[in-house]
Amino acid sequence: MTTETDKVADITVVAKAKFFIEGDDTGSEYLASIVEYQGIRWLVANWIESPATGKRTPDELIPMGLLPHAALQDGLVQLGTLIPRELLTAQIPQKLRLVYGVVRYPGVVHIPGPGGIH
């Protein structure tokens, strides 16, 4: 049986964060992984999965130190703030990147797609 930790390249998933999304009228509760990287805990905003290997690598990371939160049971963490939906997209606006301290995981190499037909 493969666990989530097995599929993540050189990074350890240590918990799951429960949170609500700002402006979500359904009141749904969402989950995201919390990883430990270089001794710091981070909320994973986005993952990239390799089609060839099936391994997932964090793309964007948010430092947990900037998010109010409380530890719950069973490896869950409750965030104490509403999360903007744009913070969990592939194209995080620069203003949110600055406010939330978002960084790109250094193990990710971004290669632009085809620019046109030759």
The C-alpha atoms of residue 6 and residue 98 are separated, in whole angstroms, by 31
Residue 77 in domain: yes
Residue 110 in domain: no
Residue 64 in domain: yes
Residue 58 in domain: yes
What single DSSP character describes residue 105? Answer: -
Q: What is the pLDDT of residues 75-92, one digit of tens each?
A: 899 999 999 999 998 889
Q: Is the pTM of this model over 0.85?
A: no
Residue 90 in domain: yes
- Structural domain including 74 reads 4-104
Residue 115 in domain: no
Report which secondary-structure segment, H or E, holds 76.
strand 76-79
> Which is it for strands 12-20 and 76-79: parallel, antiparallel or unpaired?
parallel
Q: What is the pLDDT of residues 29-66, one digit of tens each?
A: 999 999 998 889 999 988 888 888 888 888 899 999 99
Distances (CA, A) of 37 to 10, 52, 91: 9, 24, 22
Number of domains in the chain: 1
**3-class SS at 15?**
strand
Residue 62 in domain: yes
- pLDDT, averaged across the chain: 83
Burial class (CB in 10 A: 0-12, 13-18, 19+), 20: middle
Residue 116 in domain: no
Interior angle at CA 85, CA 75 and CA 20, nearest 5: 40
